Amino acid sequence: MMTEPQLAREHCRPLRGREHSLDQSQASVLLASLPGWQIVDPGQLLQKEFTFASYTATLLFVNTVAGLAERENHHPDLEVGYGRVKVSYCTHDVGGLSRNDFICAAKIEALAGI
Amino acid sequence: MMTEPQLAREHCRPLRGREHSLDQSQASVLLASLPGWQIVDPGQLLQKEFTFASYTATLLFVNTVAGLAERENHHPDLEVGYGRVKVSYCTHDVGGLSRNDFICAAKIEALAGI
């Protein structure tokens, strides 16, 4: 079984075409290691909402995720409100979810736990 | 006629109750000074999407808007993607739009023009 710390140590790779998309059982295995994340819009988005006690903490999280996005060249959609950020990953190049989405989610979990 | 530079020099005030909400004609007058902004979800949201050439520029904008939000104690919803940010203001305390929403939008326009 893949654990979140193992997944968090991987890095995103350039992926193109449907051969790099994940089927439902592959996605389920990776999802099991990511507490609170869910797959929505059937198979298209990997998503989690994070909450924070202050706007400062909210923005610190946004900037941390953005730094990670730049380093991995894999950018999520973020919905940012007061004390909350919804993070949504998908891999446009494969038209759905790829391992890269789960790698970035695992990195966010690892960072959030520090 | 109110101009965007005039509006941008005002500051948000604490507002509560429907007497502080704007009717459609008041909102239309303020909206006329804000290029590209629109009122959506009839009368509930003041919204504009901004686009950027890079992720760095995108995040600089997010942080500028967030700093403004903290100073004015009026926080928008932000939808952040690669090279785009949709900004949505509303005033929950009045159940719709208030002058505060238009003041913050004018400040963003003023900042974006610098």
CATH of the domain at A44: 3.30.1360.20
Show the beta-strand stretches assigned E in chain B.
38-40, 45-51, 77-81, 84-89
Residue A114 pLDDT level (bands cut at 50, 70, 90): confident
Nearest by CB: A77 against B62, B69, B79: B79
Mutating which of A62, A89, A91 best tests the B interface, going by the most B Cβ atoms within 10 A? A62
Residues of chain A positioned with their CB less than 8 A from the CB of B88: none
Which range, A25-29, A75-79, B13-17, has the best average confidence (pLDDT)?
A75-79
Chain A interface, Cβ < 8 Å to B: 55-56, 59, 62-63, 66, 69-70, 75, 77-82
pLDDT at B41: 84
CA dist., res. B51 & res. A23, Å (int)? 34
Domains contained in chain A, number: 1
The answer to whether the CB atoms of B70 and A55 lie below 8 A apart is: yes
pTM: predicted TM-score of the whole model, two decimal places: 0.93
The answer to whether the CB atoms of A80 and B82 lie below 8 A apart is: no
Work out the minimum CA distance from B67 to partner chain A, whole angstroms: 9
Instruction: State whether the Cα torsion A112-A96-A79-B96 is positive or negative.
Output: negative
Residues 6+ apart with CB under 8 A from B67: none
Left if phi > 0, otherwise alpha if psi is -120 to 50, otherwise beta: which for A101? Answer: alpha
Tokens encoding A40? 């929505």
pLDDT at B113: 77
Phi, psi at residue B87, to the nearest 5°? -105, 130
What range defines the domain where residue A40 resides? Answer: 4-112
3-state secondary structure chain A: CCCHHHHHCCCCCCCCCHHHCCCHHHHHHHHCCCCCCEEECCCCEEEEEEECCCHHHHHHHHHHHHHHHHHHCCCCEEEEECCEEEEEECEHHHCECCHHHHHHHHHHHHHHCC
Name the helix (H) or strand (E) containing B29: helix B24-31
**B94-to-A47, B72, B80, B104 alpha-carbon distances in Å:** 31, 17, 26, 16
The rounded average pLDDT for each run of 10 residues, N- to C-terminus, in chain B (114 residues) is 84 84 91 96 90 96 97 97 97 91 96 81
* Furthest-apart CA atoms within chain A: distance in Å: 42
